[in-house]
Amino acid sequence: MAPWTLTDALDAAGYRLTRPRRQVAELIADRDDHFTASDLMADARRRGMAIGRATVFRSLEKLSALGQLERVRLPTGEQAYVACRPPDAHHHHVVCGRCGRSVEVAGCTIGSMTDEIRRRTGYDVATHHVELFGTCPECLASGADPIPPSGHVS
């Protein structure tokens, strides 16, 4: 069988495989960068797919819940999504601020912080979000000026 598609994930979770859902899955699979809900709407229109706005949002919600997508807030403040491939392991994404491409980064070092935080602050850390932004190798190679490191982050 094909590796493991978003459609498979929806299927495995017991959702019905409808035309709109297959199409949303296809649109996402064809992207290698982050995207917003409206990006997908535009993609769909461009390909002549008729998918309702609400359906796109509902699909994104389900796929996020299934761990197939991660919601990220871009530095610009936009709400975007990136596909998790593979979706199971704990990881983070680095998003290129220039072209939008993203890759996953395994080996999260945050875990080791939580004990330390508990000890120092008394807070029991349950979850965390990490969003990394920078410049991808392609954009670096193309001579574009890298995004300058920001002085005060997070």
Task: Give contact residues for its own copies (rule: CB under 8 A).
Answer: 67, 70-71, 73, 75, 77, 87-88, 90-94, 96-97, 103, 105, 107, 109-110, 112-114, 116-117, 120-137, 140, 146-154
What is the Cα–Cα distance from 130 to 112, expressed in whole angstroms? 14
- Closer by beta carbon to its own copies, 2 or else 150: 150
What is the Cα–Cα distance from 154 to 152, expressed in whole angstroms? 7
The SS3 of residue 32 is coil
* Total residues binding DNA (CB under 7 A): 23
Give the nearest distance from C-beta 116 to DNA in angstroms: 31
- Closer by beta carbon to DNA, 63 or else 139: 63
Q: Please pick, from the candidates 9, 37, 108, 147, the single residue that binds DNA as defined by CB under 7 A.
A: 37
Taking CB under 7 A as the criterion, which residues in 84-143 touch DNA? none
* DSSP character string of 85-116: SS-SS--EEEEETTT-BEEEE---SSHHHHHH
- Closer by beta carbon to its own copies, 50 or else 113: 113
DSSP state of 70: E
Contact 133, 80 (CB under 8 A): no
Q: How many CA atoms lie within 13 A of 115 on its CB side?
A: 3
Positions in the binding site for DNA (CB under 7 A): 11, 15-21, 36-38, 50-55, 57-59, 61, 77, 79
